[in-house]
Amino acid sequence: MSEKKRRAGAAVAGAASSSKKPRAAASYAESLRSKLRPDATILATLRSLASASSSKSKAAAKSLADHDPSADPTSSYIVVADQDSSSVTSRINRLVLAAARSILSGRGFSFAVPSRAASNQVYLPDLDRIVLVRRESARPFANVATARKATVTARVLSLVHAVLRRGIHVTKRDLFYTDVKLFGDQSQSDAVLDDVSCMLGCTRSSLHVVASEKGVVVGRLVFADDGDRIDCTRMGVGGKAIPPNIDRVSGIESDALFILLVEKDAAFMRLAEDRFYNRFPCIILTAKGQPDVATRLFLRRLKVELKLPVLALVDSDPYGLKILSVYMCGSKNMSYDSANLTTPDIKWLGVRPSDLDKYRVPEQCRLPMTDHDIKVGKELLEEDFVKQNEGWVKELETMLRTKQKAEIQALSSFGFQYLTEVYLPLKLQQEDWI
Amino acid sequence: MSEKKRRAGAAVAGAASSSKKPRAAASYAESLRSKLRPDATILATLRSLASASSSKSKAAAKSLADHDPSADPTSSYIVVADQDSSSVTSRINRLVLAAARSILSGRGFSFAVPSRAASNQVYLPDLDRIVLVRRESARPFANVATARKATVTARVLSLVHAVLRRGIHVTKRDLFYTDVKLFGDQSQSDAVLDDVSCMLGCTRSSLHVVASEKGVVVGRLVFADDGDRIDCTRMGVGGKAIPPNIDRVSGIESDALFILLVEKDAAFMRLAEDRFYNRFPCIILTAKGQPDVATRLFLRRLKVELKLPVLALVDSDPYGLKILSVYMCGSKNMSYDSANLTTPDIKWLGVRPSDLDKYRVPEQCRLPMTDHDIKVGKELLEEDFVKQNEGWVKELETMLRTKQKAEIQALSSFGFQYLTEVYLPLKLQQEDWI
């Protein structure tokens, strides 16, 4: 759509939507449109952001390498890493050979299993993620207390071996159903699967056991999904479903200047339909709420390979910030895998608590925080990843003081396309992220 | 993968997975592999199924046209239909002009709103779907009881008009946020939106108000999503996200012989990774659980345009059957839209209660039905859409008698690829659907 046409259309929607709302807020919101500079100016801003991010990533990559404790068994932390099938297979072979040798020498066999307990998880500020302290416990077969679990462990090792040999991927549920009698309950095979990841020092996706996917992506991105070349500028409004098995993703290419991480699919749809990525070259992705493993892996992969800045568009509530924390620092129950699941240095673009007043979001589009919201907000203030960022602390304090929250969709009160035509361009122009 | 390679691979997995399971069941399951005839024979079966479905669809289309009550305002039923933007716009214009004329003549204005109450919904066996009995109530502005609702109705009409003029799509949530003060609660704007659909005699998607999408599709299908040509054989393992706005879907082409409707994404992933559609030309889609509106619209569109038989692969539990009923007959709260959302004549391929014994699914992979399951199962026996199909009644009775249920994933107990290599090909070969 031409600039002129776009503006004319917006004026129509503005007029249509202002009849019953406080006129002051709506006309102020419209007045922000005049603050927008030409797209070329905004693009120049984004280009310098992208190149800064790229050089910073290189520095960060170096510092990660300096601290990388995954390879070293004498290190005090466990950080598992992606491994290819043959490497995982040979690690399993080594484990099984060691067990066989131990049995033949009359000592039975025992697995050394790293502890994944919460008390064993620490946040490393240098790495900006949660990792596991190296503390292993023995799981001997010749012991009434551990015989069953040792058997389950051996069985999971053998199943993973079979999956890798066939070159396929399965879900946790599939794995459970191969031996319901032994596993009894899926939580047991799931837990041992995590044990096996830690024992082998590889990610769960390296084991070819995948989670279901729910994320979608559109924008300036080309990649291969299981060998099929996907051009994400040609995926219509629906977008491309993010593949469940990240190791089948290859050939990532992009001319984007940033990655726009969106919490909700409604906002994603608006951005996709307006082809926002054609005006401001970017990659847009969403996990449709709580981030799933596949989307987190995909985002990290994009960030690592493309070295692009990641800007996040989430609801202005504690839950929005919680979602950012999962992308950035991982969730507690997969801490051992955090290195491969987390994307550090995500910028909080919006909707931020301070935006509510800055953009004069009408009172009736704001929602009062519930007691539970306030409790979660206060807990977040205690989290290391929030404390680290002064801007975030201030925003969170604003939220807790005003006791107000708002969804991304609240911007629709200024017109359905206000998000893509005014709010986001202005945010980008003003480099208004923290 | 060559036939030989596939069989060799399966033997490996079979060996790996049989160690702890009742050997009889596993070896029986393996023995079924030998029953498989060459793919060419199975394909011949499918070809005749596809051509039968195509000619039957023509007959059905005729009978639908005979009964189609949507166009006729004197008919006793309301069945809304898809309308293009200009047609919806002119319907809104007509409504508003009538209101204006009424106001100018001193009679104020009033909307005639069809009742969408449950008591007003009937199942029409001829059409095989739920429709709305035509019964309208007046919603005058000059009445304390209805003034607010009449205002909301007028506002929603004006918002829809603005959306259509801009040629965009919005979500229900967007619509709500354009006037929170008036709507108060999203349930109110949602309800009036449904009223407006009925008043205008068009589907909600014709109003360009869309639901979020969660379905994915792969297989022998090419279509355009907002002008982008999508080849679903080249969508990797992740598949293509089904677009939220069906009216942007065009140019549907396919050389598939059937549509495989899958309940769960785990089974979808197995089929996609094994590229099942290359062996047996088909279109595979899933809504990942409870069907969303976008997936239902998409399935119907495929069925209508391609006239292919639809085979369903769901869990063997009442919930699986319930999902089939939503695809086939619609859900009660969108009955007015049922003509456009439902896909009649879906065949129940599996997993059926009788399959559990037929394929000797091990006891430990079956789950006992809960009291709630049994209650839902008994309710389903009373539903017209079940009663109509003798085979379904028998299966449901088997389920309720054995009090056992099973997931699609239970077939993994015979090897991870048993589903795609033995179970489904044998089902297709034996034309084992009801």
Beta strands in A267-399 (DSSP E): 282-286, 310-313, 346-350, 367-368
Burial of A253 (0-12, 13-18, 19+ CB in 10 A): middle
Could you give the CA distance from residue B128 to residue A433 in angstroms, rounded to a whole number? 54
pLDDT band per the 50, 70, 90 thresholds, residue B4: very low
B180 vs A175, A288, A365: nearest CB: A365
8 Å CB contact of B212 and A416 = no
A242 vs B180, B226, B238: nearest CB: B238
8 Å CB contact of B238 and A238 = no
CA distance A409 to chain B (A): 6
Residues A387, A295 share a domain: yes
CB contacts, 8 Å: B213 with chain A? 238, 265
Which of B210, B241, B270 is where one domain is finished?
Answer: B210
Please list the alpha-helical segments (H only) found in A82-218: 85-104, 147-166, 172-177, 180-183, 186-200
When divided into structural domains, chain A yields a total of 2
Kindly state whether residue A142 falls inside one of the protein's structural domains.
Answer: yes
Lowest mean pLDDT among A156-170, A287-301, A350-364, B325-339: B325-339
CB contacts, 8 Å: A234 with chain B? 228-230
Residues B329, B230 share a domain: yes
Residues A95, A31 share a domain: no
Could you give the CA distance from residue B265 to residue B277 in angstroms, rounded to a whole number? 16
B413 vs A180, A213, A224: nearest CB: A180
Residues A238, A147 share a domain: no
8 Å CB contact of A236 and B244 = no
Q: Which domain CATH number covers A217?
A: 3.40.1360.10
pLDDT band per the 50, 70, 90 thresholds, residue A414: confident
B236 vs A177, A228, A238: nearest CB: A228
**Sign of the C-alpha dihedral computed for residues A138, A143, A145 and A147 taken in this order:** positive
Could you give the CA distance from residue A296 to residue A204 in angstroms, rounded to a whole number? 13
Residues B170, B120 share a domain: yes
Kindly state whether residue A434 falls inside one of the protein's structural domains.
Answer: no
CA distance A269 to chain B (A): 8
Contact A169, A159 (CB under 8 A): no
Residue A369 has pLDDT above 50, yes or no: yes
What is the tens place of the pLDDT at every residue in B7-56?
444 443 444 444 444 556 677 777 888 888 888 888 888 888 788 877 76
8 Å CB contact of A364 and B181 = yes
Kindly state whether residue A48 falls inside one of the protein's structural domains.
Answer: yes
Could you give the CA distance from residue B94 to residue B157 in angstroms, rounded to a whole number? 11
Pick among A225, A269, A359, A363 to test the B interface (most B CBs inside 10 A) = A269
Residues B224, B174 share a domain: no
Q: Quick one: pLDDT at residue B141?
A: 92
Residue of A nearest to B5 (CA): A166
Residues A269, A197 share a domain: no
Domain extent, residue B245, equals 3-63+213-429
Could you give the CA distance from residue B432 to residue B119 in angstroms, rounded to a whole number? 38
Q: Establish whether B177 is a catalytic residue.
A: yes
Instruction: Please tell me which residue in A28, A77, A123, A177 is annotated as part of the active site.
Output: A177
CB contacts, 8 Å: B173 with chain A? 266, 407, 409, 412
CB contacts, 8 Å: A295 with chain B? none
| A397 labeled part of a ligand binding site | no
Chain centroid offset of residue B52 CA: 22
B243 vs A13, A238, A416: nearest CB: A238
8 Å CB contact of B177 and A412 = yes
8 Å CB contact of A210 and B269 = yes
Which of B162, B193, B210 is where one domain is finished?
Answer: B210
Which of B172, B195, B210 is where one domain is finished?
Answer: B210
What is the tens place of the pLDDT at every residue in B304-342?
999 999 999 999 999 999 999 889 887 766 666 766 788
Q: Quick one: pLDDT at residue B306?
A: 93
Residues A220, A205 share a domain: no
Lowest mean pLDDT among A79-88, A146-155, A391-400: A79-88
pLDDT band per the 50, 70, 90 thresholds, residue A24: low
Q: Quick one: pLDDT at residue B103?
A: 94
CB contacts, 8 Å: A415 with chain B? 178
**Sign of the C-alpha dihedral computed for residues A41, A47, A52 and A57 taken in this order:** positive
8 Å CB contact of A171 and B228 = no
Could you give the CA distance from residue B129 to residue B30 in angstroms, rounded to a whole number? 41
DSSP class of residue A1 equals -
Residue of A nearest to B242 (CA): A238
Could you give the CA distance from residue B309 to residue B112 in angstroms, rounded to a whole number? 40
Residues B353, B239 share a domain: yes
What single letter denotes the amino acid at residue A270?
A: R
Contacts with A334 (C-beta within 8 Å, 6 or more apart), sequence order? A194, A204, A293, A341
Average pLDDT, chain A: 85
Residues B387, B251 share a domain: yes
Residues B149, B37 share a domain: no
8 Å CB contact of B245 and A228 = no
Q: Quick one: pLDDT at residue A388?
A: 87
What is the tens place of the pLDDT at every residue in B378-411?
999 998 888 889 999 999 999 999 999 999 988 8
Q: Which range has highest mean pLDDT (A329-343, B110-124, B276-290)?
A: B276-290
Residues A198, A131 share a domain: yes
Average pLDDT, chain B: 85
Kindly state whether residue A283 falls inside one of the protein's structural domains.
Answer: yes
8 Å CB contact of B234 and A229 = yes
Instruction: Please tell me which residue in B28, B77, B123, B177 is annotated as part of the active site.
Output: B177
Kindly state whether residue B156 falls inside one of the protein's structural domains.
Answer: yes
Q: Quick one: pLDDT at residue A18?
A: 40
Residue of A nearest to B168 (CA): A273
CB contacts, 8 Å: B226 with chain A? 236-237, 273
| A265 labeled part of a ligand binding site | no
